[in-house]
Amino acid sequence: MEFVKNIQTTKNLEDTIFKYYPDIKSKSESALFHKSVKEFFRIRRTESDGLLALKIFYEKYSELYPNIKTRKKYLSDIRKIIKENQSADLYTKSTYDEYFNINKKQRTKIVQEYNKSIRASNDDKIQINASMILNKMGKLIVSSNPYERALALLLAYGGRPIELFTRNTFEHKKSQGSWITVNNLAKKREGQDSSVDRPIILFTPKQFIKEVKRLRDDFKNKILETNGSFAKDKSVTLNKYAVKNFPFLKDVHQKSSMMRKIYADLAYHTYADKSKQNKNSFIGRILGHNDLMTSFSYSWVNLHGDKPNENLKIQELEKKINMLSLQNRNPVPKTRISRRAPKNEKIALLEELYSEGVVKNTALRKQSGIGSQLVNSFLKGKKLSEDKKV
């Protein structure tokens, strides 16, 4: 498109913009237009040229994006680039309504509609049992499937998928037991630190950091698109396993991102001093939010059940992980039973092995010496039982 080529080299900015931008009408061209505007502001401009361009561009954005919320998103995207590449004065003026911002009345309406939708969500909370989540995490972390292990880790620390797979680094706050410092947040807001302190759910910090390393080794850093975003195929697969393990997410838009919401409530449920800490402020602090409404939107998962016995859960999980490592190194049967043994004794042995983390069909048959027909029936019963609990 001529607009893209000429807007960067012209000596007469106004003539070039007026000559080429009116031809941009279709959706594909609007995307190219937005990309071109970003490139335009990556080159240092004088304030007069910049302000002139902002007024002209805003007029076209109004035509291309009549939906106010959509337009607000695209304008914000451009202002971020202006802030990085242009003068402070040009950036400041780009936030003014008369240059490159939707008017105050429209902005107020967007906020009001957002607040209304958040309150509606909170009035229709998803009810989740805390013990069910912890039990599910213990099973997911010993899975041979890396996506299932990823779900357990997302529930353990409340990160975003892209943060878990590539961005975050971690430090154990030894003075605070189960707390860690999470560095390199993916959505660092203005005035916000690049790190935040969070409690780890179920795992010890040492276990958690070790499992994150193992997960990243499985993917060998092949997790990002060329533009730095989370790879679409990986995101789709992660969402698929989220629904498989948590069927109540089937009709939820965010799916795997819901792990972050569940973590927020679980962390408050487990670690907060309810007599001193407000739920929204606690969630805002551990997730790194500086906006009350953002924190409010993360509190629409309602956990119920007794407060978990964290030490007991950690000991149980340590045992399961160690057993899994042993099985991977040496899959020799640990406990076998006579084929002529009564069925109830065989079921009792399967129950014992299953509780210790031996949850795969092949491993159960090797460990127990029990035939495939009974093992298949046992695992089918377990799956039905777990689905009912959900």
Percentage of the chain lying above the pLDDT 90 cut: 23
Question: What is the number of residues in the chain?
Answer: 390
Q: Which contiguous run of DSSP H or E holds residue 127?
A: strand 126-129
Residue 133: which of 263, 238, 288, 27 has the closest Cα? Answer: 263
pLDDT of residue 314: 46
pLDDT of residue 192: 60
pLDDT of residue 227: 65
pLDDT of residue 285: 87
pLDDT of residue 201: 92
pLDDT of residue 330: 41
Q: What is the per-residue burial (b if ≥16 Cβ within 10 Å, else e) of 211-242?
A: bbeebeeebeeebbeeeeebbeebbebbbebb
* Beta bridge pairs of residue 128: 303
pLDDT of residue 16: 59
Positions in the chain whose pLDDT score sits under 50: 1-11, 22, 26-27, 292-293, 295-296, 307-315, 325-334, 390
Residue 246: which of 256, 232, 236, 233 has the closest Cα? Answer: 256
pLDDT of residue 191: 53
Residue 109, phi then psi, degrees to nearest 5:
-65, -40
Instruction: Report the C-alpha gap between 361 and 378 in whole angstroms.
Output: 10
Within the chain, what is the greatest distance between any pair of CA atoms? 93
User: Which two tokens mark 349?
Assistant: 């042995």
The bridge status of strand 179-183 relative to strand 169-172 is: antiparallel
Torsion angle defined by CA atoms of residues 320, 388, 122 and 120, in that order, rounded to the nearest 10 degrees: 140
How far, CA to CA in Å, does 247 sit from each of 36, 57, 155?
43, 45, 16
Q: How do residues 265-282 score in pLDDT, each as one tens digit?
A: 888 888 888 888 788 888
Residue 203: which of 358, 355, 308 has the closest Cα? Answer: 308
Q: How many CB atoms lie within 10 A of CB 102?
A: 18
Instruction: Report the C-alpha gap between 202 and 157 in whole angstroms.
Output: 10
Q: How do residues 16-68 score in pLDDT, each as one tens digit?
A: 555 555 455 544 567 778 888 888 899 898 998 899 889 888 888 888 888 88
Instruction: Report the C-alpha gap between 84 and 90 in whole angstroms.
Output: 11
> pTM, whole model, 2 decimals?
0.52
pLDDT of residue 6: 45
DSSP string, 17-28: HHHHGGG--SHH
pLDDT of residue 176: 72
Residue with tokens 């049992």: 129
Residue 73: which of 50, 102, 51 has the closest Cα? Answer: 102
174 CB-near residues (< 8 Å, 6+ apart): none
